[in-house]
Amino acid sequence: MAPPQRMRIANEKASKYVTMRGNVPKSSVIAQIYIYHGLYLMALWTILLPVCNCVNEFFPETLGGYRD
């Protein structure tokens, strides 16, 4: 089989696996955005959780505690 014919057959086989054409975004850039958001959310959670627990102990009626 001639090399051009072999390449054409290989391209036809591979073409069914191609899902996106043209401007394909890089996955590493998207992953970095999610990592940065995760770090900010984790930092926010570690700061707000003790603050909210402290507020709940001193002012229980504000968050719905001690109902009779």
Residues 20-49 pLDDT 10s: 667 766 665 565 666 677 777 888 888 887
pLDDT above 70 covers a percentage of the chain that reads 57
Q: How confident is the model at residue 63 (pLDDT cuts 50, 70, 90)?
A: low
In whole angstroms, how large is the CA radius of gyration of the chain? Answer: 28
Parse the chain into domains and list their residue ranges: 24-62
Q: Is the confidence at residue 12, as pLDDT, over 70?
A: yes
Give pTM, 2 decimals: 0.31
**Cβ contacts of 52 within 8 Å, gap of 6 or more:** 63
Q: Which residue has the tokens 């051009």?
A: 4
